[in-house]
Amino acid sequence: MATASEDGNPERVLIGRVSGVFGTRGWLKIHSYTRPHDNLLTYQVWHLRVDGNWQACRVVSAKKHGPGLIAQLTGVSNRDLALELVGCDIAITRSMLPTNADGEYYWADLIGMTVRNLSGIQFGEITQMMATGANDVMVVQGDTARLIPYVSGIYVIDVDIESRSVLVDWHEDD
């Protein structure tokens, strides 16, 4: 789903980005990081990173539009104001996220975790999660970059939130 906030604040979770403007009345095109992508529409308050600073913005209206999403925010009433927000990250506070079932994790929870294999070899840290057609993939950066499928019980043996580590069944040379 969402990714950890780049500023390191664990209470802020990135859920999307303003990708463009729509029309002349301040509507924004939105690129969602949520799955399904329209889950982003359920949040009424977004935090936008504008010029490096986070500011809360109330969503006036948001909806699917073709294959994408569009939204209008309080105070953004024309195209010029909307253009100033293109490229801004969109985040929510972690407390707004639904509670996970046991064994389920948000991508934001996995970013930064240390990954080691069954032989005790530490591969590095998860820097990114990617969705593929078959399964999610962890991007693990250490001495070398590794792409490890996130398949519980097959490749991912254990996720320890407390110790911020992931145990994988993955050979050092894979």
Q: What whole-number percentage of the chain has pLDDT above 90?
A: 74
For domain 3-96, give its CATH number from 3.40.50.1100, 3.40.30.10, 1.20.1240.10, 2.40.30.60: 2.40.30.60
- Torsion angle of alpha carbons 130, 91, 87, 53, nearest 10°? -130
Question: Is the pLDDT higher at 50 or at 101?
Answer: 50
Digit-coded pLDDT (tens) for 36-52: 889 999 999 999 999 99
CB 53 within 8 A of CB 5: no
Quote the CA–CA distance of 131 and 118 in Å, as a whole number: 25
Quote the CA–CA distance of 106 and 8 in Å, as a whole number: 16
CA distances for 102 relative to 1, 68, 106, 143, angstroms: 16, 31, 12, 32
Strand ordering across the sheet containing 145-150: 145-150, 136-141, 122-131, 114-117, 165-168, 156-160
CATH topology for 112-168? Answer: SH3 type barrels. (2.30.30)
Domain spans in the chain, listed from the N-terminal domain onward: 3-96, 112-168
Query: Is pLDDT of 73 > 50?
Result: yes
Average pLDDT score over residue span 59-64: 96
Average pLDDT, the chain: 91
Digit-coded pLDDT (tens) for 117-170: 999 999 999 999 988 888 999 999 999 999 999 999 999 999 999 999 999 999
DSSP, collapsed to helix, strand or coil, labels residue 120 as coil
Amino acid identity, position 79: R
